[in-house]
Amino acid sequence: MSARSKAPASARNGLTIAVFAAVVLSMPFWLPLIGGYEALATKIVIWAIFAVGFDILLGFTGYLSFGHAAFFGTSAYTTGLMLKHVSADVLPAMGASILVTVFLAFLLGVITLRRAGIYFAILTLAFAQMFHVAALSIFQGWTGGDNGLTMSTRPELLGIPMTGLNVFYFAAAIAIVGFYIALRIRNSPFGLMLRSIKSNAMRLEYTGVYVRAYKQIGFMISAVYAGVAGSLMVIYEPYVATKFLHWSTSGEIVIMSVIGGVGTLIGPMLGATFMLYFQNVVQAFIGEQWKLVLGIIFMLVVIFMPGGFMEGLRRLRGAVTPGGASGAGADSTASARQPAE
Amino acid sequence: MSLLEVKDVNKSFGGLAALSNINLSVDEGTVHAIIGPNGAGKSTLLNVMIGLIEADSGTVEFDGRSLSNVSPHDIIQRGIARVFQTPQIFPELSLRENVAIAGLARRDGKFKMNALQSPRRTAEVYDAAEDLLEDMGLKDLVHEEAQHLSRGDKRRLELAICLAAEPRLLLLDEPTAGMSRHDTNQTIDLLKKLAERGTTKVVIEHDMHVVFSLAERISVLAQGQIIADGAPDEVRGDPKVEEAYLGGAHL
């Protein structure tokens, strides 16, 4: 029974990855057609990596972190310092950044995952802000304080200069692999455990599962995505801004996730694309009031489409194909079936 | 042979003695019912057994090993499962996923880093989950989200989750609470069928119809103390029990 129902699921994943890769890799060609530019494509891909990783924590496990800037920013500084002082090659810089992120995520996870809900959000926010303050004060000598960390050398990958489209394809390849890994996680026993933490952590514990361990590892995986994104950000633009550690960076990834559709993996990436496109392209047409318009769009989505853009797409598909397009495998947050009493 | 030993357990909440000097022995392969009026301490006792509440003094031993200072998931991994008074299920997940979680906990232990494991490697667990759901009469609903089930079906699902873990001891806290007579009888049949598997069961129950249909041994709890303990026929005739439990009415 399940052997039969599983085969189409993996085939669907293969198709999803193929379409995703095609859309991402062709972005430098189609984005300029709608007013974007090459460098924006790179930025979108980097934030998409951040968003997919964030969804593993928020979407699967149900933990809202307001402190992912700590991972994004610390990793960015590590990459910057490595590129500046050790080697202009990006591989040792990224390797070191990932190690630092894993270590940091382990520590923060042990401390913050003791609490859930709003307390977890506040704890993560507080820790991330501590990092921001530390970067501006005691570590000012390393981080450059308010001025940020500037580099004179251009990063390279095994002798290839990391400029323009090279950075884009490097980041795009990582994004495709990252999305593939996230899909594998979703379909794995591990992913099922994360989703059941969100659903009923108490039942899970009383089913013989070490909930803390799964939360901790899920948190760390999510942090590594943020760290990789932070590192790529510095490779893309050899400069580290203090904003990378600021709470507004944490807030931005939350808004991207919510507006795109929490728990769908693709949704948060759509959200990231929309936000960056809006901030960089649409903004020019609207003028000074663009933030107000963005706020209104966010409100409308949250009120009328709580499932984000992905819910909108599902509704659209349901309206186009008569009888609805509800597959058994689809996340059915949108379908409001009547409980059978 | 005794599978579960409760020895001299005391527990009080802010001066109120919920359990005083409880001694209880559950024999392997039996159905042991714990009955008593509201507030007698039945649920507290069950919670102590499973580590949800820590006793002030006394010990609980399962299969000869103490359960004190053992975390809940480790207690479960030793072979105990618990059905709660309000069904505890995973509302947003499908029925087959609900049951597969327990199957995976059984297969992989309390933690396993299998984040990239292919769905093919878990097909067996899902197949077993569907078979179990079929036994429970939930075959047609395996792909439904658990939150859409009726209350009776939710209980049945929770029972399936517990059974997928293949426990040696199953603790049931009022498995028929809030059920219609029809659903109650169905649950009794189900539990009787399970008796054939040889799983030891501890049942807390209000409904005397259920108790006397199932139990091989009954312990009567009143005001935190065990006032009677024995075979159903012995307990039924005990005047002390009638006094405490029903204020003198006949059981």
Domains and CATH numbers, chain B: 1-79+168-251 (3.40.50.300), 94-166 (no CATH)
- The percent of residues above 90 in pLDDT, for chain A, comes to 59
Residue ranges of A 219-258 with Cβ closer than 8 A to chain B: 221
**Cβ-count burial A258-290 (b if 16+ within 10 Å, e if not):** bbbbbbbbbbbbbbbbbbbbbebeebeeeeeee
Q: Which domains does chain A have, with CATH numbers?
A: 36-273 (1.10.3470.10)
What are the backbone dihedrals phi and psi of residue B167, each rounded to the nearest 5 degrees, phi first?
-75, 160
Q: In chain B, what are the helix, strand and coil shares in percent, each to the nearest 5?
A: 40, 25, 35
> Once rounded to an integer, what is the mean pLDDT over residues B141-164?
90
Find the helix packing angle between A164-187 and A38-55, rounded to 10°: 20
Indicate the SS3 state at residue B149: coil
- What is the pLDDT confidence band of residue A184, given thresholds at 50, 70 and 90? very high
Q: What is the pLDDT of residue A322?
A: 65
Is the Cβ pair A2, B147 closer than 8 Å? no
Task: Tell me, yes or no, if B102 comes closer than 8 A to chain A by beta carbon.
Answer: yes
Say whether pLDDT at A193 is over 80. Answer: yes
Nearest Cβ partner for A3 among B82, B115, B123: B123
Q: What is the pLDDT of residue A8?
A: 57
Q: Please tell me the predicted confidence (pLDDT) of residue A147.
A: 80
List the single residue in A with minimal CA-CA distance to B118. Answer: A188
**Distance (Å, whole) CA B23 – CA B12:** 16
Give the closest of B100, B111, B161 to A214, CB-based: B111
pLDDT in tens, A247-272: 989 999 999 999 999 999 999 999 99
What confidence tier does A199 reach under pLDDT thresholds 50, 70, 90? very high
- pLDDT tens digit sequence for A204-216: 999 999 999 999 9
pLDDT above 80 (res B251) = no
- Chain A hits for B167, Cβ within 8 Å: none
Interhelix angle A90-112/A69-85, nearest 10 degrees? 150
pLDDT at position A338 = 36
How much is the pLDDT for A3?
43
Tell whether B86 is within 8 A of chain A (Cβ).
Answer: no
CA B174 to chain centre: 8
Q: Which pLDDT belongs to residue A164?
A: 83
**Res. A315: pLDDT tops 50:** yes
Query: What are A145-172's pLDDT values in tens digits?
Result: 778 888 877 888 888 888 888 899 999 9
- pLDDT tier, A1 (very low <50, low <70, confident <90, very high otherwise): very low
Which ipTM did the prediction report?
Answer: 0.90
pLDDT digits (tens, 9 = 90+) for A32-53: 888 888 889 999 999 999 999 9
Closest-approach residue (CA) in chain B for A203: B88
Query: From CA B146, how far away is CA B101, in angstroms rounded?
Result: 13
Of B84, B101, B151, the CB nearest to A192: B101
A137 or B126, higher pLDDT? B126
Does residue A333 register a pLDDT over 60?
A: no
Q: How high is the pLDDT of residue A332?
A: 39
- pLDDT of A6 > 60? The answer is no
Q: Which of A214-228, B9-23, B29-43 has the highest mean pLDDT?
A: A214-228
For residue B94, the cross-strand partners are B145
pLDDT attached to residue B246: 59
Q: Is the pLDDT of residue A340 over 50?
A: no
Q: What is the count of residue pairs from A and B with beta carbons less than 8 Å apart? A: 131
Model confidence at A309: pLDDT above 70: yes
* Type of residue at A215: K
Average pLDDT (B29-49) is 87
Of A213, A332, A340, the CB nearest to B150: A340
Note the pLDDT tens digit of each residue in B220-244: 888 888 888 888 888 887 887 777 7
Percent of chain A with pLDDT over 70: 91
- From CA B200, how far away is CA B22, in angstroms rounded? 20
List C-alpha distances in Å: A294 to A268, A289, A290.
Answer: 16, 9, 6
Q: How confident is the model at residue B194 (pLDDT cuts 50, 70, 90)?
A: confident
**DSSP string for residues in A65-106:** -S-THHHHHHHHHHHHHHHHHT-SBHHHHHHHHHHHHHHHHH
Q: What is the pLDDT of residue B115?
A: 83
Model pLDDT, residue B90: 96
B76: number of Cβ within 10 Å: 26
**Better pLDDT: B183 or A223:** A223
Q: Is A322 exposed, middle or buried (0-12, 13-18, 19+ CB in 10 A)?
A: exposed
> Does the pLDDT of residue B167 top 80, yes or no?
yes
pLDDT reading at A327 higher than 90 = no
What pLDDT sits at residue B205? 84
Question: What is A271-321 written as a DSSP string?
Answer: HHHHHHHIIIIIHHHH-TTHHHHHHHHHHHHHHH-TTHHHHHHHHHHHHHS
Q: Which of residues 149-168 of B touch A (CB under 8 A)?
A: 149-151, 153, 161, 165
From chain B, the residues in CB contact with A10 under 8 A are: 118-120
Q: How confident is the model at residue A329, as a pLDDT?
A: 39
Q: Which of A216, A271, A37, A234 is nearest to A151 (CA)?
A: A234
**Distance to chain A for B220, nearest Cα, Å:** 26
pLDDT at A298 over 70: yes
